[in-house]
């Protein structure tokens, strides 16, 4: 998995339409892995969590295998909307 830390990279991945993004948040009971095209994978949320808050509460991780995220990250589930 690759941690996404800047907006350009985030936008490139969204545009490519390929792969999955796991969003972690230590304050939530469940975290979700999404298709990059899911509307919950949103530049505004990314900016808030990663750029403004500097990843203090969580991060965005890119993978081409959703199972990798499900198997290696805590409390990770598939998004109900995009899977």
Per CB under 5 A, residues contacting Zn ion are 34, 38, 40, 79, 81-82
User: What residues form DSSP beta bridges with 20?
Assistant: 35, 63
Judged by CB, which is closer to Zn ion: 21, or 50?
Answer: 21
CA nearest neighbour of 13 among 2, 24, 28, 25:
2
Judged by CB, which is closer to Zn ion: 43, or 54?
Answer: 43
Judged by CB, which is closer to Zn ion: 12, or 40?
Answer: 40
15 — phi, psi (to 5°)?
-65, -35
**Cβ partners under 8 Å of residue 72, min gap 6:** 1
Residue 70 CB, nearest approach to Zn ion (Å): 13
């Amino acid at each position: 998995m690759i941690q996404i830390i800047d907006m350009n990279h985030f936008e490139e991945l969204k545009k490519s339409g390929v792969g999955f993004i796991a969003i972690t948040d230590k304050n939530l009971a469940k975290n979700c892995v999404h298709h990059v095209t899911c509307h919950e994978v949103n530049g505004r949320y990314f900016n808030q969590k990663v750029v403004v808050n500097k990843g203090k509460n969580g991060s965005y991780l890119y993978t081409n295998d959703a199972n990798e995220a499900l198997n290696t990250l805590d409390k990770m589930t598939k998004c109900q909307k995009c899977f």
